[in-house]
DNA sequence: GCCGATCTGGCACTGAGTGTCAATCAGGCA
DNA sequence: TGCCTGATTGACACTCAGTGCCAGATCGGC
């Protein structure tokens, strides 16, 4: 761990904290990157060296979370059918989340109220989908060269859609009901 | 039909045709709105009087198509369960599409290759979801005041996700297999 | 103490999207 | 026919996100 990478991580965290504060205070769209840079004590240009877009400040770690989900999924016993294994993997990653529900709720609401954030968030889910699909294809015994075998894609996309639906309901209902339960209910409505 | 609204419709169509030509020729992102305006013989400012965003030129009529789907869905016999009725509604609207497969394929490929278009397209699907959900809730007998009954949202979102998965596979495979079949296969993988 | 790699700020630029204003033009009315 | 109202248009200026470029500062190894 060199000093460069240490300061880099520190600055990264500082920008995130400062920006999230501004976002929650005056809204995502009403906060410009100049605002964030000024508040974090860096130049506008440097902001873009840490984050590709303004949305990435909010959604950046979704990529890492996707990799966690994939790992959890691959660790599932081979005896489980893919659907059950996917549900299990998502549950285990939810349990390991380090944020409090209150923080998560604020972020969820912001994402679901801001079109550009919602769009990016769905884009990240598509990346999750791409991460998870190969293992599902393997478990289903699908021909890797067949572009028309859509079973794996359909299963993965559906599970992630259920997560999205559950998240939306959770945010709309102010988190009064646990997210896991909503997710299970959504999954059951599709497969039950 | 006054002359104003007639010219308005004509200009709308002219912009669409001109823009799509440019998009397919040099790509969506490489075509600026200045290019479109110049080619269509209007001012940059007027372009934004007909289309809110550049993406809307490609995806604009998805809103109208969503209303068609809703109408087709509501016309389905009460005896069908929601899932079957949703599949039927989507099929009937696909059949009524007036574009050729070749044109549709080009547009599909463009949408699936361009991040901003892909994101907007999914946003439109979310609007379809909002259009279809109330009727599904009614058919399921869900309490309209219960924000935590996610069954209807889950069903609608899943069906649309299957459509999306099918569309992606269809475009990836150059339309060599009919879209309807891919859609049915995706739906069967989830529910079968 | 020197050298190369990396980080940083500043500047200029493109491109999307918005607000404003004056000019234009269709349509109704006297 | 001539006028008035309201919708449309083009032009200009502006904000904001995002990118390319360059010169200077800073760190790490030799």
Cα R_g (chain A), whole angstroms: 19
> Comparing C-alpha atoms, which of B175, B68, B65, B55 is closest to residue B121?
B55
pLDDT of residue B47 exceeding 70: yes
Q: Which of A3-7, A54-58, A124-128, B33-37 has the lowest mean pLDDT?
A: A3-7
Whether A147 and B120 lie within 8 Å, measured CB to CB: no
A38 with A73, same domain?
no
Residues A37 and A67 in one domain: no
Q: Mean per-residue pLDDT for B161-172?
A: 96
Residues whose CB is below 7 A of strand C = A 4, 7-8, 11, 41-46, 49; B 2-4, 31-34, 44-45, 48, 52-55
Q: Tell me the per-residue pLDDT of B91-133, one tens digit each, with 9 for 90 and over.
A: 999 887 778 889 899 999 999 999 899 989 998 999 999 999 9
Q: How far apart are CA A26 and CA A150, in angstroms?
A: 43
Total number of domains in chain A:
2
Closest CA to B104 of B163, B30, B181, B167: B167
Contact A119, B119 (CB under 8 A): yes
> pLDDT class for B3, splitting at 50, 70, 90?
low
Chain B 38-67 residues whose Cβ is under 7 Å from strand D: 41-46, 49
Is A81 in the B-facing interface, judged by CB distances under 8 Å? no
Nearest C-alpha in B relative to A183: B150
A130 plus A175 within the same structural domain: yes
Residues B130 and B158 in one domain: yes
Closest nucleotide to residue A46 (Cα to C1')? C8
Give the closest residue to A19 by CA, choosing from A43, A42, A35, A3: A35
B126 touches chain A (CB under 8 A): yes
**Nearest in space to A117 (alpha carbons), one of B114, B56, B119:** B119
Q: How many CB atoms lie within 10 A of CB A136?
A: 22
pLDDT at B138 over 80: yes
pLDDT at A73 exceeding the cut of 90? yes
Q: Which residues of B touch A191 (CB under 8 A)?
A: 190-191
Residue A99: pLDDT band with limits 50, 70, 90: confident
d(CA B179, CA B187): 12
Question: Residues, chain A, total?
Answer: 192
pLDDT at A101 over 80: yes
What range does the domain containing A49 cover? 3-54
Judgement on whether residues B102 and B50 belong to the same structural domain of the protein: no
Domain co-membership, B98 together with B182: yes
Q: What does pLDDT average to over chain A?
A: 94
Task: Tell me, yes or no, whether B91 and B131 share the same domain.
Answer: yes
Residues B40 and B109 in one domain: no
Q: State the CATH number of the domain containing residue A175.
A: 1.10.357.10
The model's pLDDT over B146-166, given as tens digits with 9 standing for 90+, comes to 999 999 999 999 999 999 999
């Amino acid at each position: 761990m060199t000093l460069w990478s240490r300061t880099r991580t520190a600055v990264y965290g500082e920008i995130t904290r400062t920006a999230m504060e501004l976002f929650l205070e005056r809204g995502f769209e009403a906060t410009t990157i100049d605002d964030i840079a000024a508040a974090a004590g860096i130049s506008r240009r440097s902001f873009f060296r840490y984050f590709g877009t303004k949305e990435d400040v909010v959604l950046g770690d979704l990529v890492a979370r996707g990799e966690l989900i994939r790992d959890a999924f691959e660790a599932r016993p081979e005896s489980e059918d893919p659907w059950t294994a996917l549900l299990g993997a998502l549950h285990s990653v939810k349990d390991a989340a380090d944020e409090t529900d209150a923080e998560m709720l604020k972020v969820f609401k912001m994402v679901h109220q801001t079109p550009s954030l919602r769009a990016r968030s769905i884009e990240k889910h598509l990346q999750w989908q791409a991460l998870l699909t190969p293992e599902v294809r393997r478990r289903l015994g699908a021909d890797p060269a067949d572009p028309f075998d859509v079973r794996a894609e359909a299963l993965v996309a559906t599970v992630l859609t259920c997560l999205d639906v559950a998240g939306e309901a959770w945010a709309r209902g102010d988190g009064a009901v646990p997210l896991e339960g909503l997710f299970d209910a959504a999954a059951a409505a599709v497969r039950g």
